[in-house]
Amino acid sequence: MTDEIKEKYLGKPINCLDKGFVRLVDIMGDDSAIVQAARVSYGAGTKSVNEDEGLIRYLIRHRHTSPFEMVEYKFHIKLPIFIARQWIRHRTANVNEYSGRYSEMKDEFYIPDIDQIRTQSSLNKQGRSEERLNSESAATIASMLNVSQRHLYEEYLYYLEQNTAREIARINLPLSTYTEWYWKIDLHNLFHFLELRLDSHAQYEIRIYADKIAEIVKACNPLAWQAYEDYVLNGITFSRQELNLLKDVTKDFAFEPEVLKTYGLSGLEAREFKIKLEKMYE
Amino acid sequence: MTDEIKEKYLGKPINCLDKGFVRLVDIMGDDSAIVQAARVSYGAGTKSVNEDEGLIRYLIRHRHTSPFEMVEYKFHIKLPIFIARQWIRHRTANVNEYSGRYSEMKDEFYIPDIDQIRTQSSLNKQGRSEERLNSESAATIASMLNVSQRHLYEEYLYYLEQNTAREIARINLPLSTYTEWYWKIDLHNLFHFLELRLDSHAQYEIRIYADKIAEIVKACNPLAWQAYEDYVLNGITFSRQELNLLKDVTKDFAFEPEVLKTYGLSGLEAREFKIKLEKMYE
Amino acid sequence: MTDEIKEKYLGKPINCLDKGFVRLVDIMGDDSAIVQAARVSYGAGTKSVNEDEGLIRYLIRHRHTSPFEMVEYKFHIKLPIFIARQWIRHRTANVNEYSGRYSEMKDEFYIPDIDQIRTQSSLNKQGRSEERLNSESAATIASMLNVSQRHLYEEYLYYLEQNTAREIARINLPLSTYTEWYWKIDLHNLFHFLELRLDSHAQYEIRIYADKIAEIVKACNPLAWQAYEDYVLNGITFSRQELNLLKDVTKDFAFEPEVLKTYGLSGLEAREFKIKLEKMYE
Amino acid sequence: MTDEIKEKYLGKPINCLDKGFVRLVDIMGDDSAIVQAARVSYGAGTKSVNEDEGLIRYLIRHRHTSPFEMVEYKFHIKLPIFIARQWIRHRTANVNEYSGRYSEMKDEFYIPDIDQIRTQSSLNKQGRSEERLNSESAATIASMLNVSQRHLYEEYLYYLEQNTAREIARINLPLSTYTEWYWKIDLHNLFHFLELRLDSHAQYEIRIYADKIAEIVKACNPLAWQAYEDYVLNGITFSRQELNLLKDVTKDFAFEPEVLKTYGLSGLEAREFKIKLEKMYE
Q: Which residues of A are catalytic?
A: 197
> What's the pTM?
0.96
Average pLDDT, chain A: 93
**Is B245 close to D265, i.e. CB distance below 8 A?**
yes
Q: How many beta-carbon pairs under 8 angstroms link B with C?
A: 96
D197 is catalytic: yes
Catalytic choice (B23, B57, B170, B197): B197
Burial class (CB in 10 A: 0-12, 13-18, 19+), B129: middle
Q: Which amino acid is at B109?
A: F
D201 contact partners, CB below 8 Å, separation of at least 6: B62, D124, D126, D127
Residues in A closer than 8 angstroms to D69, CB to CB, are 94, 184
Report the distance separating Cα B148 and Cα B176, nearest Å. Answer: 11
Inspect the interface and report whether the beta carbons of C36 and B181 lie closer than 8 Å.
Answer: no
Secondary structure (3-state) at B270? helix
The pLDDT of A264-281, averaged and rounded, is 91
Per-window interface: D 121-140 vs C, CB < 8 A: 121, 125-129, 133, 137
Q: pLDDT at position B49, please?
A: 60
The whole-number average pLDDT for the span C197-210 is: 96
Judged by CB atoms closer than 8 Å, whether chains meet at C279 and A236 is answered as yes
The answer, yes or no, to whether residue B1 has pLDDT greater than 80, is no
Range in A38-42, A242-246, B46-50, B55-59 with the lowest mean pLDDT: B46-50
Tell me if A101 and B163 make a contact (CB, 8 A cut-off): no
Q: Which of B75, B78, B184 to mutate to test the interface with C (most CBs of C within 10 A)?
A: B184
Contact pairs from chain A to chain C, CB under 8 Å: 99
As a whole number, mean pLDDT of residues C190-194 equals: 98
> What's the confidence (pLDDT) of residue D49?
60
Do the chains contact at C67 and B97, CB–CB below 8 Å?
A: no
Query: How high is the pLDDT of residue B42?
Result: 77
- A103–chain B nearest CA distance, Å: 8
- Taking contacts as CB-CB distances below 8 angstroms, the residues of chain B near C98 are 40-41, 43
From B121-135, C21-35, C105-119, the region with the lowest mean pLDDT: B121-135
What is the C-alpha separation between B205 and A84, in angstroms, rounded?
Answer: 21
Q: What is the pLDDT of residues B158-201, one digit of tens each?
A: 999 999 999 999 999 999 999 999 999 999 999 999 999 999 99
| Contact between residue B187 and residue B217 where contact means Cβ atoms under 8 Å apart | yes
Domain map (residue ranges) of chain D: 3-110+177-233, 112-175, 240-281
Residue A204's pLDDT is 97
C20-30 tens-digit pLDDT: 999 999 999 99
**CATH classification of D3-110+177-233 is 3.30.1360.170, yes or no?**
yes
Dihedrals φ, ψ of B128, to 5°?
Answer: -90, 160
In this prediction, residue C44 carries a pLDDT of: 58
What pLDDT was estimated at residue C241?
A: 93
Residues in A closer than 8 angstroms to B120, CB to CB, are: 163-166
Whole-number Cα distances in Å, B65 to D89, D198, D210: 12, 17, 20
pLDDT at residue B47, as a whole number: 57
Q: Which of C69, C79, C184 to mutate to test the interface with B (most CBs of B within 10 A)?
A: C184
**Angle CA D209–D214–D219, to nearest 5:** 135
Please check whether residue B94 is in contact with residue C185, taking contact to mean a CB–CB distance below 8 angstroms. Answer: no
Q: Give the CB-side neighbour count of residue B207, counting CA atoms within 13 A.
A: 9
CB–CB of A93/A84 below 8 Å? no
Residue by residue, DSSP assigns D228-252 as: HIIIIIS-EEEPHHHHHHHHHHHTT
Q: What is the ipTM of this complex?
A: 0.94
pLDDT of residue C42: 77
3-class SS at C216?
helix
Q: Is the minimum CB–CB distance between B238 and chain D shorter than 8 Å?
A: yes
The beta-strand segments (E) located in chain D are 13-16, 20-28, 72-80, 94-97, 118-120, 128-132, 178-186, 236-238
Rounded to the nearest integer, the mean pLDDT of chain B is 94
CATH fold for the domain made of B3-99+180-233: Gyrase A; domain 2 (3.30.1360)
- The reported pLDDT for the residue numbered B48 is 60
A168 min Cα distance to partner chain B (Å):
7
DSSP 8-class letter at B233? I
Contact A117 B145 (CB under 8 A): no
The SS3 call for residue D43 is coil
Task: Quickly list DSSP for B118-138.
Answer: EEEPSSSTTSEEEEEPPHHHH
| pLDDT tens sequence across D138-151 | 999 999 999 999 99
More confident call, A47 vs C229? C229
Give the Cα separation of C85 and D170 in Å (integer).
13
Contact with chain B for residue A114, Cβ under 8 A: no
Average pLDDT for A199-214: 96
Mean pLDDT over B240-267 rounds to 93
Please list, residue by residue across A103-142, b when 16 or more beta carbons sit within 10 angstroms of its beta carbon and e when fewer do.
Answer: bebeebbbbbeeebbbbbbeeeebbbeeeebeeebbebbb
Window 42-101 of B: residues touching A by CB (8 A cutoff) are: 80-82, 84-85, 88-89, 91-92, 95, 99-101
Mean pLDDT computed over C160-179:
97
Sort C64 into a burial class: Cβ within 10 Å, 0-12 / 13-18 / 19+.
middle
Would the CB atoms of C133 and D163 count as touching at under 8 Å? Answer: yes
Give residue C166's Cα distance to chain centre: 33
Nearest 5°: CA angle at B39, between B34 and B40?
Answer: 105
Q: Does A163 touch chain C (CB under 8 A)?
A: no
Residues C127, C130, C133, CA angle at the centre, nearest 5°?
Answer: 95
With 60 as the cut, is the pLDDT of residue D47 above it? no
CB contacts, 8 Å: C118 with chain D: 164-165, 168
Work out the minimum CA distance from B173 to partner chain A, whole angstroms: 5
| Average pLDDT of the residues in D167-191 | 98
Residue D270 has pLDDT above 60, yes or no: yes
Higher-scoring residue by pLDDT: B276, C123? B276
C46-61 b/e (C-beta count within 10 Å ≥ 16 → b): eeeeeebbbbbbebbb
Residue D21's nearest CA partner among D182, D239, D142 is: D182
Helix or strand holding residue A96 (H, E): strand A94-97
Return the residue of B nearest to C181 by Cα.
Answer: B40
d(CA A91, CA B96): 13
Strand order in the sheet with B13-16: B13-16, B20-28, B72-80, B178-186, B94-97
pLDDT over threshold 60, residue A45? no
Q: Using the beta-carbon criterion (under 8 Å), do C239 and A259 form an inter-chain contact?
A: no
Instruction: Provide, as residue numbers in chain A, all residues whose Cβ is less than 8 Å from the Cβ of D74.
Output: 28-29, 70
What pLDDT was estimated at residue A282? 79
Res. A229 pLDDT band, cuts 50 70 90: very high
Instruction: Check residue D46 and give its pLDDT.
Output: 47
Nearest CA in chain B to D246: B250
Report the sign of the C-alpha dihedral through residues A74, A80, A85, A89, in that order: negative
* CA-based nearest residue in chain A for residue D77: A40
Task: Determine the residue of chain D that is closest to B277 in CA distance.
Answer: D236
Q: What is the mean pLDDT of residues D10-33?
A: 97
Helix (H) or strand (E) holding A179: strand A178-186
Question: Is C3-110+176-233 assigned to CATH 3.30.1360.170?
Answer: yes
Whether residues D29 and A29 touch (CB distance < 8 A) is answered with no
Whether D135 has a pLDDT exceeding 90, the answer reads: no
Crossing angle of helices A204-220 and A187-197, rounded to 10°: 140
* D163 touches C at CB < 8 Å: yes
- Choice among B99-108, C100-109, C129-138 with the minimum mean pLDDT: C129-138
CB–CB of A214/A140 below 8 Å? no
- Local confidence band at C124 (pLDDT 50, 70, 90 cut-offs): confident
A162 touches chain B (CB under 8 A): yes
Interior CA angle at A180 toward A174 and A184, to 5°?
Answer: 135
How confident is the model at residue C49, as a pLDDT?
60
Q: Which of B42, B69, B96 sits opposite C102 (nearest CB)?
A: B42
Cβ atoms A126, C59 nearer than 8 A = no
Give the list of residues 6+ apart from residue D152 with CB closer than 8 angstroms, or none: C148, C152, C174, D172, D173, D174
Which among B239, B249, B265 has the least Cβ separation from residue D242? Answer: B265
Query: Can you give the pLDDT at residue A46?
Result: 47
From the candidates C109, C120, C157, C172, which should be mutated to test the interface with D, based on the most D CB atoms within 10 A?
A: C172
Q: D23, D57, D170, D197: which one is catalytic?
A: D197
Q: How confident is residue A51, by pLDDT bands cut at 50, 70 and 90?
A: confident
Question: Could you give the 3-state DSSP secondary structure of residue D175?
Answer: coil
What is the pLDDT averaged over residues D98-107? 95
**Closest-CA residue in chain A for C260?**
A245
On whether the CB atoms of residues B43 and C103 are closer than 8 A, the answer is yes
Q: Mind telling me how many Å the CA of A134 is from chain B's nearest CA?
A: 10
DSSP, collapsed to helix, strand or coil, labels residue C238 as strand
Across the strands, what pairs with D27?
D73
The count of C-alpha atoms lying within 13 angstroms of the C-alpha of B104, restricted to the half-sphere facing its C-beta, is 12
Of B157, B154, B184, residue with least CA distance to B74: B184
Residue D48: pLDDT band with limits 50, 70, 90: low
Contacts of A118 in chain B (CB under 8 A): 164-165, 168
D7 band by pLDDT with thresholds 50, 70 and 90: confident
CA distance C102 to A274: 51
